[in-house]
Amino acid sequence: MTMADLNISMPPALEQWVDARLAQGRYVDAADYLRDLVRRDQEASEYDRQWVRARLEEGFVSGIVDAEPEDVLKEIMARLPDA
Assigned domain for 45 exists: yes
2 located within any domain: no
User: Is 70 domain-assigned?
Assistant: yes
Burial of 49 (0-12, 13-18, 19+ CB in 10 A): exposed
Q: Is residue 1 part of a domain?
A: no
Domain that holds residue 25: 12-79
* pLDDT band at residue 83 under the 50/70/90 scheme: low
Residue 3 lies in a domain: no
User: Looking at the domain assignment, is residue 18 inside a domain?
Assistant: yes
Burial class (CB in 10 A: 0-12, 13-18, 19+), 22: middle
At residue 44, the pLDDT reads: 96
Amino acid in position 5: D
How many domains is the chain built from?
Answer: 1
pLDDT tens digits along 41-53: 999 999 999 999 9
